[in-house]
Amino acid sequence: MKLAKKTAAHKIFKRNDGRYAVKTRKAKAAKAEAAVGSKSAEEEKTDAGK
């Protein structure tokens, strides 16, 4: 797996089969919905700054 994106709360990896895996800071598997929610919140912050 390769690291695709790192946030304060999650690490998003691209798996060898093309799907994505999400892990918490403590390296435990997390549900993708939680990471997607934090990702969209980050994108909103960067869009607001433009």
Compute the distance between CA of residue 32 and CA of residue 23 in angstroms, rounded to an integer: 9
User: pLDDT digits over 3-36, tens only?
Assistant: 988 888 888 889 899 888 888 888 788 776 655 6
State the pLDDT at residue 17.
Answer: 92
pTM: 0.58
pLDDT at 16: 92
Q: Is 18 exposed, middle or buried (0-12, 13-18, 19+ CB in 10 A)?
A: exposed
More confident call, 23 vs 45: 23
Residue 19 CB partners (closer than 8 Å, separation 6+)? none
Return the structure tokens found at 26: 């403590």
